[in-house]
Structure 1
């Protein structure tokens, strides 16, 4: 077989794996949001669309709306916007690249504005168990007490140059509501939090979400991110999970792909705000 044929065969196999992982993600992750929400989230169903209010930002999730007519999709979008307009509340519609072909345009027509696109990256737990070793001088440990969660929120606030104090409440609610379904890890150097990440188990599925993964700028490039992936993969394996999923930035996506995970789609937050209207 020629090198060109080899590359073609490899590409075809990768495409097949990515399609299989996307199908598993859509069937398990996207289809089970209502059954695995934190205690502080409240659902407001509308057929194939789920509107959710939280203590931080409201969300809209859908099943992708495949097969729906343009008029049906427009109705879902309009009703979601009007629902949150009556509440004078901003809302994020979580849009995926494999959703109904008219959905993106209808969201924009309704006043939803796109934020930064992320890659939906999925892989098997077994493939990232050895993603990276803990760097010298770094300690990784699980945490659940409120002081540690506040320290994580402070670190995230520094990373993103925004007030992320709400994150401590969100993590505390998840730990209190379903402690077996979340594992929060901090990476410390000389007792200071330099990175944090958490594994969120999705009940009723074989998936775990790799959330967080932020590192202070001066500590990047040392392998902390990969070490946190490996540690969460080992926790996921102990819990009997098969897949891991990440909504990855362009900083993280290449690392994850090198570790054997696959970009299966993109996701874009479409945000409507009362001020924008």
Structure 2
């Protein structure tokens, strides 16, 4: 993989693009998203700043989201300018969350791996299965993932995303999803949470393989994901490479 070329394609096709989502807009030197739901994701997805413009643009976004009563996230990537953007964000009241690795794989090169014995995968599409996805995420990550399910429901109906459940018999034990980005080379992998008592059995890596096949069937070449340290080693063994680091900066 030509990592520099793939990173440039990622930046051009995904970050520096306003898609069909009416919630996203290009506002001067940023692309931002304002969720229709107060508990949905809102934030800055891309920026093109320098030392002379950064502080004013940051202040503008703080005012924009603040006037609408929204907490929001500034999605920072290690190659974003200016070089001291993280310091400027902290000075403006943003708090960094845990750094994640932007990882990409060529879906044609990933191994085909089946689930362990006694486990099978299903694609969640109805209300009952979506609630099972929520139940897995609540147990795997903690908290209430009801708002996430609410935001997913319409996109599931249009085929923009496919949530995947791993079932041991009738018991949901792992859940994830794949997002498709029409007109690009990329599909995105999100979630991948396994309930504690079922971890370490190979379910997560088999689910990555399953979603890769879903993406290939729809004509997507690359898979991208933002990986925490817990999943990065698994992804590397499957063939993913780290292109850069990303940190979500949040402001209430």
Same fold flag (TM > 0.5): yes
Aligned residue for 2:54, secondary structure, equals helix
1:54-107 Cα deviation digits (max 9, x unpaired): 1213111114x2xx4312121211100111121221000100011011321111
User: Unpaired runs of 5+ in structure 2?
Assistant: none
Query: Tell me, what secondary structure is at the counterpart of 1:70?
Result: coil
Name the TM-score, length of structure 1 as normaliser.
Answer: 0.85
Please state whether the residue corresponding to 2:115 is helix, strand or coil. coil
Helix, strand or coil: the match of 2:2? helix
What is the SS of the residue equivalent to 1:195? strand
> Paired residue for 2:180, among 184, 187, 201?
201
Structure 1 residue 247 and structure 2 residue 229: aligned?
Answer: no
SS in 2 for 1:265: strand
Deviation, structure 1 residue 45: 3.1
**1:170 positional shift:** 1.7
Q: Does 1:61 align with 2:40?
A: no
Match in the other structure for 1:20: 5
Query: Is there any run of 5+ residues in structure 1 with no aligned partner, and where?
Result: 1-15
Q: Secondary structure at the match of 1:196?
A: strand
CA distance in structure 1 between the partners assigned to 2:4 and 2:92 by the alignment: 31
CA deviation profile, 1:109-163 (whole Å, cap 9, x unmatched): 1111101111000110112142x22100101011210111011112111112201
In the alignment of these two chains, the number of paired residues is 248
Structure 1 or 2: larger helix share?
1
Q: CA RMSD in A?
A: 1.5
**Deviations 1:13-61 (CA, angstroms, capped at 9, x unpaired):** xxx73323212211212122x2143xxx623431121221112131111
TM-score in terms of structure 2 length: 0.93
Q: Does 1:98 align with 2:82?
A: no
